[in-house]
Amino acid sequence: MGFQLQLSLTGDCDLFYLGSNTTDQCTLTPGVVIDKEDNINPETLLPRNISQTSRVGTVVSQENLNFIRQPGFQRGIEGQEIGIDLYIPNAGAVFGNSISRQTTIRRQEEIDVLPAGSFSTIEQIIKVNHEKAVLGRTVRGIPVIPEGEEPWLYTLSSGASFLLPTIDPKLEGSDKPVDPRANRNLFLASNNARLPPASFVVYQIGVGEADTPKSEVEKLSQLPSAMYNSIWFGFSPDVRISLHNRSYLEILGSERIIESAGGEGGVADFSNINSIVSFSNQIINPDDLSRFYVQAYARFFATEVNAINQTIIDEDTIYAPHISFTGNLTYTDKVFRYYLGTIFSDDVRSYLGADYNQNLSNDLDLNIGAIGYINPNREYYSQTWGSLTKNFPLSDNQHFTLVGRFNYAIDRPVQASNFAEAIFPSLASFLILEGQYNWDWFSIKIGNNFGGVLPNSLKNQLFLGTTFNISPFVNLSGYFAPIDENSSSIKASAGINFRLGQNSNSPFLSFNWSQYRYDFGTTPQGDDLIQKDNIFQVVIRFGQ
């Protein structure tokens, strides 16, 4: 809704030049103009600025007086504009237009993908004597990352890694015969070293040791434990996020006049008119005016528009230098790991963590862990987690598995609104109980997330999953969430997978469909703002 108000008043200058005999005419209104052509923001229909062309009491030339007496509102001769001419096309809004009375929402995602990878070499040295074995492992990597703030850093560090020494574990010799039975836990411990997820290694060295069994081993639980410690250097993903908000109007048509009125003229005697004019704390009575001329025009109009609120999130992933130390104690039935490190991004993030896995019995497994970060963000944040898995054998080809698992996101930044959470999910705590029945070629799983139990928790969710192994080379999978109260979630999915070969490293080809649901909250009228996207993917994977 908008309006235009045009008004000018001229009268004798005696009011401003008291005691004089002047016969000049002066303007009784300031010259205030909002120009329709130049001063209206086309995206908001709001004035950019207001211009003042004259002041109250400015003398109006006879030529200008003759000009403003022409039919219609006249500001005056160029350079001598007087009066008020306010054009306000956006003075308020009424919800709805001729196209729709409902708010709609659209989500668009654009992904630019660049290939990145790494070529690594592994050099391993094993030494044994009569009572123990030691292992030294050196990994050198050449990450190929085409983009980044400092791409030269990737290349330079990769070349330098081949100049660094190979780790050579120390082991004292003796005059006793060598016992060649190296403890298998030594190799498991080296493989249990924590590797930063989704990262590229440049240089890693580690040393492990384990005692050799004193006697013949009848069962694995008799094997001594092994220890392995390593230092890792490489590059880890660092997500940079910028948020841009923009509100603007999409104009759908021209202005439609609702009401308009106006006129102009002058009189010589105002004795029968009850009116006063006030400006700058000065009261003007009509009786004081001997000559007077007024222009007064007004019109009210409506313009059909769509009011668009746009939120754009740019999410760029670069790779930041990362150094970490990790170690573990590996037993036959349990593993304890500890680790610390620093990621050198814009905000340096250091962390300290540990986790513990144990097979409590043949059919019961426990996993717990915790990690704490300095300067946490959406990707790297302090958390604790755990799971307890119980397997119930039913027959030779049937069993049922019950799993309880949780994650408590301690200091992950949380979005302030449902709208932001749908665009940029941040809730990460969960408490899930799920059961899975497996029968030869078929499995079905049902699970539930109990929302609201832990702080910053994912909301209530009930989900079902199933898998059909049609043959050793083909399987079908499906997923459905009949209840999911989260702002951003997968409602359903299905896929078919082909193994293109007979061994575990054979290529894998997958065709997948997923339906994503985004809940952006409600409109001012209380209607739900929900969008569903159907995503189709073709994926080929090589190796384990």
Is residue 152 very low, low, confident or very high in pLDDT (cuts 50, 70, 90)? low
Predicted confidence at residue 123, as pLDDT, reads 95
- Res 289: pLDDT: 61
Digit-coded pLDDT (tens) for 312-324: 889 888 889 999 9
Phi, psi of 122 (to 5 degrees): -120, 125
Two structure tokens written together for 365: 């497994």
For the entire predicted model, the pTM comes to 0.79
Look at residue 262 and tell me whether its pLDDT is greater than 60. yes
pLDDT in tens, 465-519: 999 999 989 999 999 999 999 999 999 999 999 998 888 788 999 999 999 999 9
**What percent of the chain has a predicted confidence (pLDDT) above 90?**
57
Q: For the segment 55-66, what is each residue's pLDDT rounded down to a tens digit?
A: 888 899 999 999
DSSP 414-463: --SSHHHHHHS----BEEEEEEEEEETTEEEEEEEE-TTSSTTB---EEE
How many Cβ atoms from other residues are within 10 Å of residue 441's Cβ? 13
The residue among 319, 325, 318, 317 whose CA lies nearest residue 342 is: 325
Residues 6+ apart with CB under 8 A from 426: 378, 412, 413, 414, 415, 456
- How would residue 270 be classed by pLDDT, with cut points 50, 70 and 90? very low
Reference 113, options 147, 141, 143; nearest CA is 147
pLDDT tens, position by position, 17-41:
655 556 788 888 889 999 887 789 9
Split at pLDDT 50, 70, 90, the class of 377 is: very high
Q: With contact defined as beta carbons under 8 Å apart, do 510 and 537 qualify?
A: yes
**What pLDDT does residue 539 have?**
93
Distance from C-alpha of 206 to C-alpha of 190, rounded to nearest angstrom: 8
Least confident of 89-98, 285-294, 318-327: 285-294
Please tell me the predicted confidence (pLDDT) of residue 424: 79
Q: Over 60: is that where the pLDDT of 208 sits?
A: yes
The pLDDT confidence band at residue 285, using thresholds 50, 70 and 90, is: low
Residue 271: per-residue pLDDT:
46
Please name the helix (run of DSSP H) or strand (run of DSSP E) that holds residue 411, with its range, or none: none
Find the range with the poorest average confidence among 81-95, 263-277, 302-316. Answer: 263-277
pLDDT at 457 (0 to 100)? 93
CB 228 within 8 A of CB 135: yes
Q: Which residue has the higher pLDDT, 220 or 307?
A: 307
Residue range 94-144, pLDDT digits in tens: 888 888 888 888 888 898 888 888 888 999 999 999 999 999 999 999 888
More confident residue, 271 or 382: 382
pLDDT grade, residue 214 (50/70/90)?
confident
How much is the pLDDT for 296? 93
Length, in residues, of the chain: 544
Residue type at 7? L
Average pLDDT over residues 374-389: 96
Rounded to whole angstroms, how far apart are CA atoms 202 and 142? 6
pLDDT for residue 267 is more than 70: no
How confident is the model over 383-389, as a mean pLDDT?
98
List strand residue ranges (DSSP E) for 268-333, in order.
Answer: 277-279, 282-284, 292-302, 305-330
Supply angle C-alpha 325, 331, 335, rounded to 5.
45
Taking all residues of the chain, what is their mean pLDDT, rounded to a whole number?
88
Return d(Cα 160, Cα 348) in angstroms, integer.
23
